[in-house]
Amino acid sequence: MILRRMQELLARLYDAPVEHDVEDYLLKDRQRVTALTGDECDSDEQVVLVEERDAVRVGVFVDPAVTQRLERCDPLACLAEDNLQDFCTALEGVSHFHYLMWSLAHNRSVSLLELELQADVDKYASAMVLLTQQSAGGYPATLHQRLFHHVGFLPELPEERRRRYEQANRYAARFCRSLEERFLRRRQRRPEAWLAELRRFFRHAHQDKLRAVMR
């Protein structure tokens, strides 16, 4: 299944496996999400957390139309303009799930901004890895512009959510641009240092992530 393979990609990228499979936590339709959260599901992806007395229930919704298109046009085999948006949509949901599960396993709390920031970095990093592999090592110079500048947010989003998404996008853009300039754009590229910095960032807690962004 495409979402499981995306989760495996993130686990390899960050050397951060988790015991839980995203496919086991899928919510199949928007009505189920609405029933669990009490709010209208207005997104093509959403991770649901329901706190109970002694536990937290987790669910992942990715619009079935998105996963069906990705199964037909596999981005892990060929990531291109015609499947990039669907890839980013699905990867965001997988990222939220994977980072939550990794954090829970390490007894760490996670803020909403941290989740969104990590997801934006994950979309960039995983797309960079795939595009580089699929072009036999070629560096996708336009990826940063495509992911961080050609973006928009639903006009009906609540103001608080919009600010959080915009802030996460801005922070991730700054961090990922710094990685490119230090490790990928120079004559002597150092992809191993790029990867090491990504893995350190993944393991940072909220405030350490923000400090890494602001360097």
Give the Å distances, CA to CA, from 100 to 96, 108, 110, 192.
6, 9, 7, 26
Please state which of the ranges 36-45, 68-77, 147-156, 176-185 shows the lowest mean pLDDT: 147-156
Instruction: Write the pLDDT tens digit of every residue in 47-68.
Output: 988 777 777 788 999 999 999 9
pTM: 0.92
3 or 162, which is more confident:
3
Give the Å distances, CA to CA, from 125 to 3, 43, 132.
17, 23, 11
**β-pairing verdict for 26-27 and 45-51:** unpaired
Is the pLDDT at 179 greater than 90? The verdict is yes
- Number of CB atoms found within 10 A of residue 56's CB: 10
Question: So what's the pLDDT on residue 60?
Answer: 93
* Alpha-carbon gap, residue 7 to 10, rounded angstroms: 5
Instruction: Write the pLDDT tens digit of every residue in 107-166.
Output: 998 999 999 999 999 999 999 999 999 987 777 888 999 999 877 766 677 788 888 989
Instruction: Write the pLDDT tens digit of every residue in 30-40.
Output: 888 888 888 88
Residue entry with tokens 């919510």: 27
